[in-house]
Structure 1
Amino acid sequence: MGFHEIRFPTSLSFGSAGGPERRTEVVTLANGFEERNTPWAQSRRRYDAGMGVRSLDDVAALIAFFEARQGRLYGFRWKDWADFKSCLPSADPAPGDQVIGTGDGATAVFGLTKRYVSGSESYQRPIAKPVTGTVRVAVAGVEVPPGGFSVDDTTGQVTLGVAPGAGQVVTAGYEYDVPVRFDTDQIVTSVASFQAGDVPDVPVVEVRV
């Protein structure tokens, strides 16, 4: 799958609408009870990039980005302004934000994840596109200095210089992007309709990487 490691202009994504999507199959039985199942282990996010377009200059920037990605052909990074940190939106990422693994004395590579918790239930989301320079890591509650680990910003894999000891909890804090692509091969714009308040419909959908 083709993917460009470039972020969609944040000035345009700021006004966008969207969020996570689930797919649930519901079967209603003869007695009125339901059976529910899902073929998706992970949620998928959808956005409308056209909602953030406010001027004709924005339209020009959108079209340039769209053409450079060749429509749906190449994926790209997207900043979800409602969900782009390992912590609450009002806080700054800290090295203890998210548990990403437990040491066994040999493993030194851990994938970034984010856990969503509500009551006794939770969902763990893999994070594949951390923002360069934002990742902080701790082992057993002690922050690892920048030279003590490396991050693959294209996969979300963290490699520690020294494998954590058995039972030592590895945590991380970071900002991240969502890997997406355009979900259309056409952008329809009209200067007259845009000046009247209409914005183009530009669907964007998350991709697996």
Structure 2
Amino acid sequence: MTAFHNISFPLKLARGAVGGPERVTEVVALANGREVRNTCLSRSRRRWDVGSAIRNLDDLAEITAFFEARLGRLHGFRFRDPADHKSCRPSQMPGPFDQLLGIGTGSQKVFQLQKTYGDAAGSSVRPIHLPGLGTVRVGIGTTELPASAFSVDTQTGLITLSTAPAAGQSVRAGFSFDTPVRFDSDRLDIAHDAFEAGRVISLALVEILL
């Protein structure tokens, strides 16, 4: 991967993050009062501001070191979204049948991890590229596979099965995951409010594609 460091943003500093998915929709107002709406992105892009989580000098030193090691915006890194980092609800444990990855053809062995968001009216599929090490569980049909029956690339989110599922069999998986992000600025603004205390004015992270 180009300009990506396989290292995680400090989890304790992620817990105060503000943000989430962002879409770009073009809205054109017609003369009759109706609207024409078009999406400009095939899927959402996530943004967060993590500055509010940083309050003391130790945290400021830690984030400064992390920022400098990434050379500002140059290198991406892993970010664990507190609200969305599992194939299931945050309060649950991932299970082997959480997310549908595809349907067996009798020859296909490689499947991309993905998460589907939706309801009866519509849905959106998000590819997952950075699964948590040792968290992936795979189910074929109604049977969970042993860990020895598949391998996981934690840099791409591709799973490779030892045996291709039969045609028509569902391939499902459960997992935890990180989001690939980068800093959205080459500048780190720190305010020293009091003795042994300080804060970052704003520290934005933006999702990147791998």
The equivalent residue for 1:154 is 155
Normalising by structure 1, what TM-score?
0.96
- Distance in 2, Cα, partners of 1:131 & 1:194: 38
Residues 159-205 of structure 1: CA distance to partner in whole angstroms, max 9, x if unpaired? 00000010010000000000000000010113236977754311100
Determine helix, strand or coil for the equivalent of 1:190: strand
Residues 97-144 of structure 1: CA distance to partner in whole angstroms, max 9, x if unpaired? 000011001000000010111233111111111011100001111011
- Distance in 1, Cα, partners of 2:97 & 2:4: 31
Give how far 1:15 is off: 1.1
The equivalent residue for 1:32 is 33
- Distance in 2, Cα, partners of 1:15 & 1:32: 41
What is the root-mean-square deviation of aligned Cα atoms in Å? Answer: 1.4
- Distance in 1, Cα, partners of 2:142 & 2:188: 49
Q: Does 1:80 align with 2:81?
A: yes
| Misfit runs of 4+, over 3 Å | 193-199
The equivalent residue for 1:139 is 140
What aligned pairs does 1:123-138 form with structure 2 within 5 A after superposition? 123-138=124-139
- Distance in 2, Cα, partners of 1:201 & 1:164: 48
Listed as ranges, the gaps of 5+ residues in structure 1 are none
Determine helix, strand or coil for the equivalent of 1:25: strand
Residues 31-60 of structure 1: CA distance to partner in whole angstroms, max 9, x if unpaired? 111000012001000001212112110011
What aligned pairs does 1:24-63 form with structure 2 within 5 A after superposition? 24-63=25-64
- Distance in 1, Cα, partners of 2:115 & 2:3: 25
- Distance in 1, Cα, partners of 2:168 & 2:77: 37
- Distance in 2, Cα, partners of 1:156 & 1:8: 19
Q: Does 1:173 align with 2:140?
A: no
C-alpha contact (below 8 Å) 2:9/2:79 kept by paired residues: yes
Aligned residues: 209
- Distance in 1, Cα, partners of 2:28 & 2:100: 36
Normalising by structure 2, what TM-score?
0.96
